[in-house]
Amino acid sequence: MTNTNVSARKRNTILWGGALLLVGVFLLLVNQHALDPYAPTWQYVVAALCGLGGIAFLILFVRDVVHWWPIIPAFTLLTVGVIIFLTTQTAAVVGEVLGSILFFGIALAFAVIFLLDRNRWWAIIPMGVLLLVSATTALSTFQVSSDVLSATLFIGMGFVFLLVYLLGPHKREVWWALVPATALVAFGLFTFVFSKATGDLQLTVVSWWPALLVLLGVFLLVRGVAMLGGRTLPAADLTLPPLPAPGELPAAPSTAVIHPQDNTAASVTPSAPPSPPAAPPLLEPEPAAPADAETPS
């Protein structure tokens, strides 16, 4: 790790530590009602600071769009600024509605992250969960029963995973999302139907709903075994190459020559090896003269 990276980490640690310290002190003052005499002035100031902070993070993201993380604090600060401003305008806004607005604003951040790059399909999960929490929090203000809220929560989570499968760029990478989607939607429907069942017949039908899962499992097992049993291996090619004619040289195998300049391979058929040089003709030795021949006088 270079000295530049170390100094950057130290600087970021100091900045985040100072920010958390200021936020903690501010929240303590609010909870202890120490800022009540200065209301609503301090609320306007804090709302403006949150808005400016959100805009600063958006500018940071625009300058370097490769790093998407500034989108989350940007939308969070902008949403907090809107919530603080709403508290100065009316006192009828209950805490559940404010919490719903906060979750909705953070969910928008993940929606933007996904829309900017469809390969970030994982952003659909926190986006859907936060939207679901926002919806259930808003429904709780209308005195909706807990059974309906729990069913909404499970069914909504199932639809979140279904969106992961539908909006994912590559279905083979996100096929697993169908498993929790089916399980959560089925459990949510079971919870809702069970809460509304009053008669013996209805209770009996509800108690036997897992039989559908058993039938589905048996169907998948039978289909998988059938597919596995019907799989055939490709037949081996036992055809032998034709023999060369008498006096004909066999075809040389093709070899690949790799050129280091362009890293391409060319199919080259080597020529037949040169014939060995012909042997020189044998010379017959001259007959030797007889050793005992007499010379004429």
* pLDDT tens column, 221-272: 887 788 777 655 455 555 555 666 666 665 555 555 555 554 444 444 555 5
For the chain, percent of residues with pLDDT exceeding 90: 25
pLDDT of residue 266: 47
Q: For 74, what's the count of Cα atoms within 13 Å in the CB-facing half-sphere?
A: 17
pLDDT tens figures, 172-226: 888 889 888 988 888 888 777 777 666 565 566 666 767 777 877 787 788 778 8
pLDDT of residue 274: 57
pLDDT of residue 89: 79
Band (61; pLDDT cuts 50, 70, 90)? very high
pLDDT of residue 241: 59
Q: Which residues contact 44 (CB under 8 A, 6 or more apart)?
A: 85, 88
pLDDT of residue 11: 81
The length of the chain in residues reads: 297
Query: Cα separations (Å) of 40 from 23, 55, 81, 167, 297?
Result: 18, 23, 14, 44, 161
Question: Which residue, 129, 88, 99, 135, is CA-closest to 111?
Answer: 129
pLDDT of residue 264: 47
Band (102; pLDDT cuts 50, 70, 90)? very high
pLDDT of residue 297: 42
Mean pLDDT confidence for 124-144: 89
Mean pLDDT, the chain, as a whole number?
Answer: 78
Which stretch of 16-30, 76-90, 191-205 has the lowest confidence by average pLDDT? Answer: 191-205
Strand, coil or helix: what is 63? helix
Band (105; pLDDT cuts 50, 70, 90)? very high
pLDDT at 278 over 60: no
Rounded to the nearest 5 degrees, what angle is found at the Cα of 99, between the Cα atoms of 96 and 102? Answer: 155
Band (282; pLDDT cuts 50, 70, 90)? low
